[in-house]
Structure 1
């Protein structure tokens, strides 16, 4: 087996982070994010698994701790923004429905 490069490891981690983001974006239109507890559990499970992947990469010395924390924090920030966008859209829909 060829040696694992840091660049490849970071690439794989970022692909997994993007997969989690796509999972949430795909549910954005169905309102499942704001109304489905099972979906939140799936996201929590995905995030936990991803954090374990990052932790493993740090422990075996493939990436530095700071870089791993940065990857996790960027994903968490983007996911929080997606959640905020959905909740804001739902709030605005509810408010406009009350005005009519």
Structure 2
């Protein structure tokens, strides 16, 4: 078995982060983000799994602690941005009389 390169591991982790972002973006269109508790549980589970992957990669020495925390932080910032965007869109619709 060949050793895994740092670049390959980082690419796999970025793909996983992108999958979580896509999950949120896809649900944004159906407004499930703001109305569905089950969806929040799915996101929480995905984020927990991703954080465990980061911990594992750090422990293996594939990523530095700083790199792992940065990947996780970037994902959290993107998710917060998406949640804020949905919240603001929902508020705008409510204020304009278009009840969601």
TM-score (norm 2): 0.96
Cα displacement (A) at 1:2: 1.4
Residue 63 of structure 1 aligns to a residue whose secondary structure is coil
CA distance in 2, matches of 1:5, 1:38: 37
Gaps of 5+ in 1: none
* Equivalent position of 2:25 in the other structure: 25
Deviation at 1:91, TM superposition (A): 0.2
User: What is the match of residue 38 of structure 1?
Assistant: 38
Counterpart CA distance in 2 for 1:59 and 1:2 is 18
Q: Distance in 2 between matches of 1:16 and 1:86?
A: 22
RMSD: 0.8
Q: Pairwise mapping of residues 58-97 of structure 1 onto structure 2 (< 5 A)? A: 58-97=58-97
Q: Residue 45 of structure 2 aligns to a residue in which SS?
A: helix
Tell me the distance in 2 between the aligned counterparts of 1:3 and 1:65.
20
Q: 1:16 matched to which residue of 2? A: 16
Alignment partner, residue 53 of structure 1: 53
Structure 2 segments unaligned to the other structure (5+ residues):
none
Q: Deviations over 1:45-74 (max 9, x none)?
A: 000000000000001100000000000000
